[in-house]
Chains A and B, each alone.
Chain A
Amino acid sequence: MKAGVILGTLVLVALIFLYEWPRINRTQKKEKVVFIVLLSLGTILAIMLILNPDLPGPTQMIEYIYKPLGRMLEK
């Protein structure tokens, strides 16, 4: 099941790559680097989330920082 989802994710990433890569100008070196970095970040995160869906997320981090204020509103 998980292997299938990972495969699907990789297909999606490949589609994004195939759609966008020919459209980036050859002179835009920096854009290409950023494109690859962002896409690989996304892929790594996706695989991490598929393998471990309970990974602590950004919301938990924010909740931890703002807890003293947030408690004011809890009932």
Chain B
Amino acid sequence: MIEKGKISAMQMGIMMYPTITATAILLVPAITARYAKQDMWLSPFWASLIGFLTVYIAVQLHHLYPQKTLIEYSEDILGKFLGKAVGFIFLFFYLHANGIIIREYGEFVVGNFLSHTPLVVVMGSMILVCSFAVRSGVEVIGRLAEVIVPVVIILILANIILLIPDMKVENMFPIMEKGIMPSLMGAIIPQGWFTEFLLIAFLLPYVDDRNKGKKWGMISVTAVMLTLSLINIAVLFVLGGITSRFLYPAFSAVRYVSIADFLEHIEAIVMALWVAGVFVKIAVFYYALVLGTAQWLNLSDYRPITFPIGFLLLLFAVWSAPNLIELIHFLGSSSPFYRISIQTGIPLILLFIAKWRRKTNNQKLTQQG
């Protein structure tokens, strides 16, 4: 095995939490609000269903091929040629998706804080930091997540509490004015984020206590669902019907915090910790990509290709969209279907084929015996 490190199931769950939430709290609330209006707080619940399904698929596949990652067992299931082709689709997907994530991060930082810094420098420095984390292996990323995530969660909750004076509960009404459809439509976009739980297929082989993998995966999905729902409620209560007009609603809402004219401008702290969260997100995606590439090419080590792939990631981040508006348009239209079909659709087909092959093999064995 290329990766010798081991993580606990809890670390895996903790790693996955910022992997979904970090960018899901940026642009997603605005896109959700566009469809769901005042029912936007319901959308994460519907969206999380696909998260549970994805975790279930990944865990089932892991039970069939305990020592292998997604890239390796897709070759076992589909045979050499098709397996390599599917592996390439996954790798391309993660390269592209991570490029988009890095771009979202860069646009956010440049748009709100470092307005005179070139985008490439902001994104490049993040990739550099992540590549050192990736080179150190899965254990280091797991521990980093253990340090960062509790602070991020406390911070999110603290911000929501600080926003309570600005909240207007009546923004929520009428609940389900036009039935269930708007909230379901609003759920399509976050669904794309929940399918990213497929990344546990890259982490499960290195989990120590393997029977707890499923439990912590599910806990992680639930935590993400509650967080997104809580943030959507907070944003809705503070901003109301104009939520969809903001670029970064959650961030704009935090700017409302003003306690006794003393505690203000806490968005700088939010930013600092959010960057830590997105760092874990990029590192996990980057790690899956590097490990997957090394396994796809049957290398004995993944470290040598970390920096070249980091360089490619930077290029894809620049290449993925000409500007922020195009990026939002992509995220709000084709991207959820793209993510769902690759991160849930293909693994589901893999699982069916694997089960079916297992079954026919068993039948053959019993006939021979």
What 1/0 mask marks residues of chain B from 279 to 299 whose CB sits below 8 Å from any chain A CB? 000000000000000000111
What 1/0 mask marks residues of chain A from 31 to 49 whose CB sits below 8 Å from any chain B CB? 1101100110110011001
Q: Does A4 contact B (CB under 8 A)?
A: no
The answer on a CB contact under 8 Å between A31 and B316 is no
The answer on a CB contact under 8 Å between A49 and B318 is yes
CB distance from B344 to the nearest CB of A (A): 14
The answer on a CB contact under 8 Å between A66 and B338 is yes
The answer on a CB contact under 8 Å between A42 and B297 is no
**Once the chains are docked, how many angstroms separate the CA of A41 from the CA of B338?**
25
**Once the chains are docked, how many angstroms separate the CA of A16 from the CA of B34?**
44
Among A19, A59, A62, the one with the most B-chain Cβ atoms within 10 Å of its Cβ is A59
Q: Does A2 contact B (CB under 8 A)?
A: no
Q: Does B179 contact A (CB under 8 A)?
A: no
CB distance from A57 to the nearest CB of B (A): 4
The answer on a CB contact under 8 Å between B312 and A41 is yes
The answer on a CB contact under 8 Å between A16 and B320 is no
Q: Which residues of A contact B356 (CB under 8 A)?
A: none
Decide yes or no: A19 and B304 within 8 Å by CB, A41-B312, A71-B333 being known contacts: no
What 1/0 mask marks residues of chain A from 62 to 75 whose CB sits below 8 Å from any chain B CB? 11011101110111
Which of B92, B100, B322, B333 is A73 in contact with, Cβ under 8 Å? B333
Q: Does B355 contact A (CB under 8 A)?
A: no
Q: Does B96 contact A (CB under 8 A)?
A: yes
Q: Which residues of B contact A58 (CB under 8 A)?
A: 92, 96, 99, 316, 319-320
Total interface residues in chain B, CB < 8 Å = 40
Q: Which residues of A contact B100 (CB under 8 A)?
A: 59
CB distance from B130 to the nearest CB of A (A): 15
Which chain B residues (319-369) contact chain A, with CB distance < 8 Å? 319-322, 326-327, 330, 332-338, 341
Which of B92, B298, B326, B337 is A66 in contact with, Cβ under 8 Å? B337
Q: Which residues of B contact A13 (CB under 8 A)?
A: 311
The answer on a CB contact under 8 Å between B319 and A69 is no
Across the A-B interface, the 4 shortest Cβ-Cβ residue pairs: A70-B334, A38-B308, A70-B333, A66-B334
* A-B contacts, 26 listed (Cβ < 8 Å): A16-B308, A20-B308, A24-B304, A28-B299, A31-B304, A31-B305, A32-B304, A34-B297, A34-B305, A35-B305, A38-B312, A41-B312, A42-B308, A42-B315, A45-B315, A59-B100, A59-B330, A62-B334, A66-B338, A70-B334, A73-B35, A73-B185, A73-B188, A73-B189, A73-B332, A74-B332
Interface, chain B (partner A; CB < 8 A): 34-35, 92, 96, 99-100, 185, 188-189, 297-301, 303-305, 307-309, 311-312, 315-316, 318-322, 326-327, 330, 332-338, 341
